[in-house]
């Protein structure tokens, strides 16, 4: 019986047998959890703007801002959760504690919409009294309790799933290439149930029932997660690496600054005492990116391994380069992250003004979000089983296309989403002028299914952008920082929501001051949402050009395996550096995932 090659252990810290654990056997439980958890999240998020405007009596801009700020918090708190996991508790125990907080938040939300003292009184015709301060405080306390819980679950459960595959085993590594595709498939399956079933229940049956169902679903998902415990692989906490990204960056910057006047020639230090650990994956030296940082690893005749000013290792320098490169890529993904923020806010409000009848059934506007999920669920198998094999034969890349090429396609599709939304709004405004419709509650005689293309395109774009961002930041993170690396993905979505909240506020105030009427007023039938979409489209196109410029200059991560002077196995695609040092002019030996350094997105 063979143990795992990547150092995975069981919950007690003992080596674990590869054939009995991990892989899809373990991931099946995690995928089941993710489907239920996403049903809970989207059960709240999808229709939240409708609840705030109809039940809590908030204005349009205020409700959009509230939803964006809460969604932003949900995606930003994973930064803390990932740090706690990587530095202290590990992914499993961090998830365990946070999931209970998440469940408490869901129970509080269900109580807030169910118990009479906790929500505004509404008449039979749908008119509701303004919410009291106590009601508002309890409702938002429930929402942000849920956000705190999501901070510990979101960054850790996906990386915990990826941990179930051994990177140093060729067969498992090939299987892992599909993991994030099917992870997102599971995510959006849960979202589909929320947007097709729960949103309808909330509007037609009752908000209490509509929130109680996902709460029960979340509790069941936790049971499912713990059923799979015997099959899970765990990565040991590397406190020396994970506990101090800021410390690592500071050390490298200080060393580079100290050597700022030196010429970059000769040897670069690779093996310090702390690095000489069996099985530790090291990073190969890269040139032409953040070249000044290489001075932190310069070896001089006066340096020694025990000196207080010993040079940094090449691996430490390359880890800082990776983090710097990831930050640059993260910055150019922020505008695309603003596009999904429209789905549960302005897209929903836009849909409420249109004809939503389908035969005898009146479709909730938020249910249109299900077409994002449907198009994504259809697109993922096509991408994974058809497109990737075709591209793989052509490019030789195991993924078919590079990570940044995938992101680039996603950015293009999301710009097309905004263009479609703008065209639909232009037509809606033309119908309003032709029919002289001006009332805030008047229905525009135009089918809501005119909005379908923007939802479908967004779903297809998510196959490239959402999955691509998640995979990119996990793959490119330094060893021991995968959870923290995944927070680049979650924080991007969070900042995207905050930026959208800021943009909506600025546009609202600026247009009110300049023309006397907001582009995004409470009465969308007498506003100019089309102008806002044009502005967002210009931002998207400009950002896409910047993304291409960044992608062409990005250097991918390259690793090899240190193993006490023994050559690494071919299966691991690793190689040993015999004397423990890498020169500044060293050739590239092996590149992770066979991605060449000069291969641009």
Question: What pLDDT digit, counting tens, does each position of 64-93 carry?
Answer: 889 999 999 998 898 888 888 877 888 899
> Under the phi-then-psi rule, with left for phi > 0, alpha for psi from -120 to 50, and beta for the rest, what region is 307?
beta
**What backbone phi and psi angles, to 5 degrees, belong to 554?**
-75, 140
Concatenated DSSP letters of 147-177: HHHHHHHHHHHHHHHHTTS-TTSHHHHHHHT
Q: Which of 209-213, 252-256, 451-455, 554-558 has the lowest mean pLDDT?
A: 554-558
Q: Of 286-290, 523-527, 555-559, which has the strongest mean pLDDT?
A: 523-527
8 A C-beta contact, residue 508 and residue 345: no
Mean pLDDT of the chain: 81
* Predicted pLDDT at 569: 31
Between residues 420 and 345, the one the model is more confident about: 420
Query: pLDDT digits over 164-185, tens only?
Result: 888 777 777 777 777 877 887 8
Q: Give domain 1-238's CATH architecture.
A: Up-down Bundle (1.20)
Reported as a pLDDT band with limits 50, 70 and 90, residue 432 is very high
State pLDDT tens for residues 109-127: 999 998 888 888 777 666 7
Question: pLDDT band for position 240 (50/70/90)?
Answer: low
Backbone φ and ψ for 166, nearest 5 degrees, come out as: -85, 115
Q: What pLDDT is stored for residue 82 in this prediction?
A: 81
What's the rounded Cα separation, in Å, for the pair 494 and 72? 4
* Alpha carbon distance 80, 151 (integer Å): 7
**From 6-15, 84-93, 160-169, 476-485, the region with the lowest mean pLDDT:** 476-485
CATH 1.20.1250.20 residue ranges of the chain are: 1-238
CA 395-400-404 angle, to 5 degrees, is 100
Alpha helix locations (H) across 356-451? 370-382, 388-395, 403-435
Say what the pLDDT of residue 281 is.
61
Helix (H/G/I), strand (E/B), else coil: 227? helix
How high is the pLDDT of residue 186? 87
Q: Which of residues 438 and 48 earns the better pLDDT score?
A: 48
Give the pLDDT band (50/70/90) at residue 355: very high
CA dist 185 and 470 (Å) reads: 13
Terminal-to-terminal C-alpha distance of the chain: 41
Residue 597 in this model has a pLDDT that exceeds 50: no
Question: Phi, psi at residue 103, to the nearest 5°?
Answer: -65, -40
Determine the pLDDT at residue 430.
Answer: 93
Residue 319 half-sphere exposure toward CB, CA atoms < 13 A: 26
Query: What pLDDT does 95 receive?
Result: 92
pLDDT of residue 338: 92
- Rounded to whole angstroms, how far apart are CA atoms 300 and 547? 39
pLDDT at 9: 83
Q: Is 50 exposed, middle or buried (0-12, 13-18, 19+ CB in 10 A)?
A: buried
Burial of 177 (0-12, 13-18, 19+ CB in 10 A): middle
Helix axes 466-476 and 482-515, enclosed angle (nearest 10): 140
pLDDT tens readout for residues 20-71: 887 888 888 888 889 999 999 999 988 898 888 888 888 888 888 899 999 9
Q: What is the pLDDT of residue 411?
A: 93
- The set of residues, in sequence order, having a beta carbon less than 8 Å from that of 318 and lying 6+ positions away, is 283, 284, 285, 286, 557
**Range of weakest confidence among 185-189, 345-349, 562-566:** 562-566
Strand 267-269 and strand 581-583: the pairing is antiparallel
What average pLDDT does this structure show over 367-379? 87
CB burial string 69-96: b at 16+ within 10 A, e below: bbbbbbbbbbbbbbbbbbbebbbbbbbb
Highest mean pLDDT among 207-211, 240-244, 281-285, 439-443: 207-211
What is the C-alpha to C-alpha distance for residues 199 and 461, in angstroms, rounded to an integer?
24
Regarding pTM above 0.85, the answer is no
- Rounded CA-CA distance 346/324 in Å is 34
Say if CB 156 and CB 81 are below 8 A apart: yes
Per DSSP, the three-state class of 521 is coil
Highest mean pLDDT range out of 3-7, 8-12, 108-112, 256-260? 108-112
- Span 301-323, mean pLDDT? 71
Nearest CA to 138 out of 167, 171, 107 is that of 107
The region of weakest confidence among 249-253, 260-264, 389-393 is 260-264
CA distance 267 to 28: 48
Average pLDDT over residues 364-391: 88
Share of the chain above pLDDT 70, in %: 85
Query: Chain-centre distance of CA 350, in angstroms?
Result: 26
DSSP 285: P
């Amino acid at each position: 019986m063979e143990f795992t090659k990547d150092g995975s252990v069981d919950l007690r810290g003992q080596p674990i047998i590869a054939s009995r654990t991990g892989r899809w056997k373990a991931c099946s439980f995690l995928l089941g959890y993710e489907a239920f958890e996403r049903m809970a999240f989207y059960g709240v998020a999808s229709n939240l703007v409708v609840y705030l405007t109809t039940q809590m009596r908030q204005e349009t801009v205020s409700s959009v801002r509230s939803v964006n700020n809460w969604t932003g918090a949900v995606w930003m708190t994973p930064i803390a959760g990932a740090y706690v996991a990587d530095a202290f508790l590990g992914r499993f125990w961090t998830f365990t504690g946070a999931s209970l907080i998440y469940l408490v938040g869901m129970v509080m939300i269900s109580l807030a919409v169910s118990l009479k003292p906790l929500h505004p009184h509404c008449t039979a015709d749908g008119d509701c009294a303004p919410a009291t301060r106590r009601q508002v405080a309890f409702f938002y306390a429930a929402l942000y309790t849920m956000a705190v819980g999501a901070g510990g679950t979101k960054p850790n459960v996906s990386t915990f799933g990826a941990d179930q595959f051994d990177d140093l085993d060729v067969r498992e590594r090939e299987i892992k290439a599909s993991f994030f595709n099917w992870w997102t498939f599971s995510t959006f399956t849960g979202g589909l149930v929320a947007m097709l079933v729960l949103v309808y229940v909330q509007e037609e049956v009752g908000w209490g029932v509509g929130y109680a169902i996902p709460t029960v679903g979340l509790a069941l998902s936790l049971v499912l997660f713990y059923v799979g415990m015997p099959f899970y692989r765990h990565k040991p906490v590397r406190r020396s690496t994970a506990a101090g990204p800021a410390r690592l960056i500071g050390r490298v910057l200080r060393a580079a600054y100290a050597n700022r006047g030196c010429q970059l020639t000769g040897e670069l230090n690779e093996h310090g005492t702390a690095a000489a650990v069996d099985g530790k994956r090291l990073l190969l030296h890269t040139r032409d990116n953040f070249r000044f940082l290489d001075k932190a690893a310069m070896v001089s005749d006066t340096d020694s391994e025990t000196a207080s000013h010993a040079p940094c290792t090449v691996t430490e320098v390359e880890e800082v380069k990776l983090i710097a490169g990831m930050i640059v890529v993260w910055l150019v993904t922020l505008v695309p992250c603003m596009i999904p923020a429209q789905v549960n806010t302005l897209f929903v409000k836009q849909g409420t003004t249109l004809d939503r009848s389908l035969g005898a059934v009146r479709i909730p506007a938020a249910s249109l979000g299900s077409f994002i999920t449907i198009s994504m669920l259809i697109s993922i198998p096509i991408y994974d089983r058809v497109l990737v094999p075709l591209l793989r034969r052509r490019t030789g890349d195991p993924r078919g296309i590079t990570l940044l090429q995938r992101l680039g396609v996603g950015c293009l599709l999301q710009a097309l989403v905004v263009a479609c939304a703008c065209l639909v709004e232009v037509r809606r405004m033309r119908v309003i002028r032709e029919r002289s419709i001006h009332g805030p509650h008047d229905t525009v005689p135009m089918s809501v299914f005119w909005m379908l293309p923007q939802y479908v395109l967004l779903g297809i774009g998510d196959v490239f952008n959402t999955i691509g961002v998640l995979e990119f930041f996990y793959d490119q993170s330094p060893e021991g920082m995968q959870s923290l690396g995944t927070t680049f993905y979650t924080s991007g979505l969070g900042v995207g929501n905050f930026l959208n909240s800021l943009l909506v506020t600025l546009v609202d105030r600026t247009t009110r001051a300049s023309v006397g009427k907001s582009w995004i007023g409470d009465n969308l039938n007498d506003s100019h949402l089309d102008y806002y979409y044009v502005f967002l489209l210009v931002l998207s196109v400009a950002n896409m050009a910047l993304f291409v410029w960044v992608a062409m200059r990005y250097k991918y991560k390259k690793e090899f395996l240190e193993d006490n002077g023994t050559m690494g196995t071919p299966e691991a695609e690793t190689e040993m550096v015999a004397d423990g040092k890498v020169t500044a002019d060293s050739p590239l030996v092996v590149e992770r995932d066979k991605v060449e350094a000069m291969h641009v997105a």
